Amino acid sequence: MITALRATSRTIADYLQARFAEDAVLREFFAAPGTMRVYLNTPAEMTGARSGLSVWLYRVVRCDATLNRPPERISPTLTRRLPLPMRLHYLMTPITNSEEDDAPETEQAILGKVLQCFHDHPQLTGTDLRDDLTGTDRVITLRLESLSVDEMARIWDALDSPYRTSISYETTIVEVAAGDQPESRAAVRVASQETGVIVGVGV
């Protein structure tokens, strides 16, 4: 489905929002009537306008390791192209938009909660899934990425925004369904082996 990226992003955002609202330290900010939320906007879009956590999809990469799988045979004469396997990379940045002295502490607590959530629960599946993934058997696996200072600097340069403390997670495997119709293929022929007894002809 073409909504796989959106559904993955919403699944991650909703999961973190729920965990923040349950946390003893962050509850006052993320549970009603708190003003912080988990957004899919870039950090630059949130600065000065919204407070909470930015979960920004900043990179989409094809997963070459599983790309060359053969088509799925759905009948003796029809095959269907397999989904396109993708890896998604998210930059997670806490933004408080506050001049309070404890603003950096709150931002660090938000990052700490993100790390705890995906350390304890690195796979989102079943009732965790949202949007068009709801009710499916999909599994979203999250892995913390160790980006170098140069890699982080390039990301923030692209945003044209001052650097903020942030972390990056990679999700695998997200599948974008093929849009073409099943193709007609020749039926599979399977060689069968038969055994028998050769009876000699008398002279």
User: Is residue 95 included in any domain, yes or no?
Assistant: yes
User: Is residue 113 included in any domain, yes or no?
Assistant: yes
**169 contacts: CB under 8 Å, gap ≥ 6:** 89, 90, 92, 118, 142, 143, 144, 145
Digitized pLDDT (tens) for each residue of the chain, 203 residues in all:
789 999 999 999 999 999 999 999 999 999 999 999 999 999 999 999 899 999 999 999 998 876 666 666 666 667 677 788 999 999 999 999 887 768 999 999 999 999 999 999 999 999 999 999 999 999 999 999 999 999 999 999 999 999 999 999 999 889 888 776 555 655 555 556 666 666 666 65
User: Is residue 18 included in any domain, yes or no?
Assistant: yes
For residue 134, the enclosing domain spans: 4-66+82-178
Provide the token pair at 67.
């790309």
Q: How far, CA to CA in Å, does 149 sit from each of 32, 156, 162, 181, 190?
A: 37, 11, 14, 45, 56
**What CATH number is attached to the domain comprising 36?**
3.30.2000
User: Is residue 145 included in any domain, yes or no?
Assistant: yes
pLDDT of residue 102: 83
User: Is residue 168 included in any domain, yes or no?
Assistant: yes
CB 173 within 8 A of CB 63: yes
Angle, helix 4-22 to helix 103-120, in steps of 10 degrees: 110
Give me the number of domains the chain comprises: 1
Task: Please give the radius of gyration of the chain, using alpha carbons only, rounded to the nearest integer.
Answer: 25
pLDDT of residue 180: 60
pLDDT of residue 75: 67
Nearest to 106 by CA among 52, 46, 40: 52
Provide the token pair at 146.
């160790």
pLDDT of residue 165: 93
CB 52 within 8 A of CB 95: yes
pLDDT of residue 79: 66
CB 32 within 8 A of CB 67: no
pLDDT of residue 12: 98
Three-state DSSP class for residue 129: coil
User: Is residue 190 included in any domain, yes or no?
Assistant: no
CB atoms within 10 A of CB 115: 14
pLDDT of residue 198: 65
User: Is residue 203 included in any domain, yes or no?
Assistant: no
User: Is residue 186 included in any domain, yes or no?
Assistant: no
